[in-house]
Amino acid sequence: MIDLFTPWTFKGLKLKNRVVMPPMCQYSVEKKDGIATDWHYVHYVSRAIGGAGLIIIEMTDIEPDGRITDNDLGLWSDEQIPALARIVDACHKYGAKVAIQIAHAGRKAQDAPVPVAPSAIAFNDQYKTPRALTTDEVKAMPDKYAQAVKRAVQAGFDAIELHGAHGYLIHEFQSAFTNKRTDEYGKDLTKFGTEVSRAAKSEMPARMPLIMRISAIEYVKGGYGLDHSIALARSYKEAGVDLFHVSAGGEGPIAAAGKPGTHAAYQVPFAREVRKAVGTPVIAVGRLDDPALANAVIGNEDAELVAVGRGMLRNPYWTLEAAAKLHKDTNVPMQYLTGFAH
């Protein structure tokens, strides 16, 4: 029987349990230099002390104009490595493994003077109209992802996640709604994400897993569905992606969206389908902060891992409390043992 507290080994990644902290932007880089601050240190290390098996550091961008805001993390320079390495080392000390989400915000880069995207289509009236990347610029982009991945490997991360979801650059290329190009990157919607995956993989040790976060369905009218995302995932798997983190939406204005309810476990059916169809492990995410429910997702083998986002914003010790509620053993830090005594 497997449950939320069953360890999981996948390639070179050894997790003590199945609980993941998903990437959540903190917009807390005060100096706008992309360098992690004390806030990030305390925020992530608290969740490591709080028992999470895998922590995925928030969207971290490959170039300054690839940030949602100028307060986002970046990995376009070697100067950004040491502050992240310090977080990774401390999380390791408290038993968590750490991944980082490597990204480019594309047309959703709000502070970029002129955001770039596959096509010059604005996200909505409040956003700038992006400039369409030239074919040569598109061809140069995978290497920027690869350079950021190389720096992440130097910082000591245990896994890499590419942000292929929520309407950011990779998603923009893989969607007919945002990609109206007539060059090879428009004719084949998988081409950009595939090239980025290969480039990322080329900078990673062979046993380090590459995760891709995908939006399994789009919420806009006429947006893509599971058939398309499964086809994408198959191509990305061939290009080296080992594990999919299955989210949804983010490509268009929410008001216009046929968004499904955000009831508990609302994205688990997508994770289950991707897992079955693509044959890789998956991370399920989305309103799974009831421990019994998270445990059921693992027990029913809908996903290998479960991510708890807002639940961990409210409570860094979510994992320790989940173990107590489910009557499972976990390593409560010695300093906190009395807090968990029966």
Ligand X SMILES: Cc1cc2nc3c(=O)[nH]c(=O)nc-3n(C[C@H](O)[C@H](O)[C@H](O)COP(=O)(O)O)c2cc1C
Pick one of 166, 191, 201, 272: the residue that binds ligand X (CB under 6 A): 166
- Interface stretch with ligand X, choices 16-24, 73-81, 113-121, 170-178 (CB under 6 A): 16-24
Cβ–Cβ under 8 Å, residues 58 and 92 = no
Q: For residue 40, state whether it binds ligand X (rule: CB under 6 A).
A: no
- Between CA 138 and CA 309 the distance in angstroms is 32
Q: What is the residue type of 339? A: G
Q: For residue 167, state whether it binds ligand X (rule: CB under 6 A).
A: no
Shortest distance (Å) from residue 103 CB to ligand X: 7
Q: For residue 229, state whether it binds ligand X (rule: CB under 6 A).
A: no
- The residue with its CB nearest to ligand X is 309
- Is the alpha carbon torsion for 326, 327, 330, 334 positive or negative? positive
Shortest distance (Å) from residue 178 CB to ligand X: 17
- Between CA 148 and CA 253 the distance in angstroms is 29
- Residues 264-280 as b/e (b if ≥16 CB within 10 A, e otherwise) read ebbbbebbbbbbeebeb
Shortest distance (Å) from residue 245 CB to ligand X: 8
- Between CA 21 and CA 91 the distance in angstroms is 12
* H-only helix segments in 55-157: 81-93, 135-155
- With tokens 């720096």, the residue in question is 151
Shortest distance (Å) from residue 263 CB to ligand X: 11
Pick one of 2, 3, 25, 85: the residue that binds ligand X (CB under 6 A): 25
Pick one of 83, 165, 294, 303: the residue that binds ligand X (CB under 6 A): 165
Q: For residue 160, state whether it binds ligand X (rule: CB under 6 A).
A: no
Strand spans (E) along the chain: 8-10, 13-15, 19-21, 54-61, 73-74, 97-103, 116-117, 131-132, 159-164, 210-215, 243-247, 282-285, 305-307
Pick one of 311, 316, 319, 320: the residue that binds ligand X (CB under 6 A): 311
Given the complex with ligand X, which of 23 and 74 has the nearer CB atom?
A: 23
Q: For residue 108, state whether it binds ligand X (rule: CB under 6 A).
A: no
Pick one of 142, 167, 286, 291: the residue that binds ligand X (CB under 6 A): 286
Shortest distance (Å) from residue 287 CB to ligand X: 4
Determine the distance from the C-alpha atom of residue 263 to the mean position of all C-alpha atoms in its chain, rounded to a whole number. Answer: 21
Cβ–Cβ under 8 Å, residues 322 and 17 = no
Pick one of 310, 314, 331, 339: the residue that binds ligand X (CB under 6 A): 310
Given the complex with ligand X, which of 251 and 289 has the nearer CB atom?
A: 289
Pick one of 23, 34, 115, 193: the residue that binds ligand X (CB under 6 A): 23
- Interface stretch with ligand X, choices 79-87, 126-134, 215-223, 287-295 (CB under 6 A): 287-295
Q: Collapsing DSSP states into helix, strand and coil, what is residue 100?
A: strand
Pick one of 59, 83, 109, 322: the residue that binds ligand X (CB under 6 A): 59
Residues that bind ligand X (CB under 6 A): 22-25, 58-59, 101, 163, 165-166, 213, 247, 285-289, 308-311
